């Protein structure tokens, strides 16, 4: 990305240290370093503050990076879809495979199932991380995000109100699923 190079150039032109620039735009020195080394990208507020500090337009600051940003925006929903499919497959494997694995392979099967469970937990964590980065939590928000669409402000507000009930329902459903699986194992082991 060219933005990192431009930030460094504009900062050096003004004889500013990374600490001084960080203080002016309310971030850490490490954040400035990450931007300059293209390890991360400034958010919109930081871009505006950078343009003000450097006394240049936003267009001058991000020139050349717009196409890269558009490509990144297009890639994010695809990454999310891919992770969602992997998570779904692992979830099904977690639900379906424990009994056959333990029955046919005993402790080795249990070990294999635990590895599948750990992979599912890790991929689930990645999916949640992506959801938080994109600020999507409800089904409708997730589907709009995956389709590359934006919800209206009124729809976003309505979806935010749903989040509490969806979390309560998710906890109840997870608890019920856990109880059913436990009862099933007790029944099988008797």
Greater model confidence, 142 or 94 = 94
Assess whether pLDDT exceeds 70 at residue 39. yes
| Closest listed residue to residue 100, CA positions, set 85, 89, 110 | 110
Greater model confidence, 40 or 89 = 89
Residue 38 has what pLDDT? Answer: 83
What is the pLDDT of the chain when averaged over all its residues?
82
Q: What is the pLDDT of residues 59-103, one digit of tens each?
A: 777 765 555 555 555 556 778 888 889 999 999 999 899 889 988
Q: What share of the chain is helix, strand, coil (3-state, %, to 5)?
A: 85, 0, 15
Neighbouring C-beta atoms of residue 66, cutoff 10 Å: 10
Which superfamily, per CATH, for 2-64?
Answer: lambda repressor-like DNA-binding domains (1.10.260.40)
Instruction: Give pTM, 2 decimals.
Output: 0.50
Q: What is the pLDDT of residues 162-179, one digit of tens each?
A: 777 777 888 899 889 888
| Closest listed residue to residue 43, CA positions, set 14, 3, 76 | 3
**Of 11-25, 43-57, 60-74, 136-150, where does mean pLDDT reach its minimum?**
60-74
The stretch 38-59 carries a mean pLDDT of: 84
**Token pair recorded at residue 112:** 């294999």
Residue 111 has what pLDDT? Answer: 93
* Domain segments of the chain as ranges: 2-64, 71-134
């Amino acid at each position: 990305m060219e933005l990192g190079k431009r930030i460094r150039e504009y900062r050096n032109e003004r004889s500013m240290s990374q600490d001084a620039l960080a203080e002016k735009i309310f971030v850490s020195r490490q954040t400035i370093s990450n931007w300059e080394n293209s390890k991360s990208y400034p958010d919109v507020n930081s871009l505006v503050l950078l343009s003000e500090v450097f006394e240049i337009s936003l267009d001058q600051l991000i020139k050349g990076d717009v196409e890269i940003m558009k490509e990144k925006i297009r890639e994010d929903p695809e990454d999310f879809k891919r992770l969602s499919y992997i998570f779904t497959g692992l979830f099904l494997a977690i639900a379906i495979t424990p009994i056959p694995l333990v029955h046919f392979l005993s402790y080795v099967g249990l070990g294999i199932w635990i590895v599948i469970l750990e992979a599912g937990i890790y991929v689930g964590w990645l999916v949640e991380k992506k959801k938080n980065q994109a600020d999507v939590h409800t089904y409708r928000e997730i589907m709009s995000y995956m389709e590359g669409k934006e919800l209206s402000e009124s729809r976003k507000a309505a979806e935010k109100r749903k989040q509490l009930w969806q979390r309560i329902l998710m906890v109840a459903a997870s608890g019920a699923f856990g109880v059913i699986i436990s009862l099933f194992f007790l029944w099988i082991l008797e």
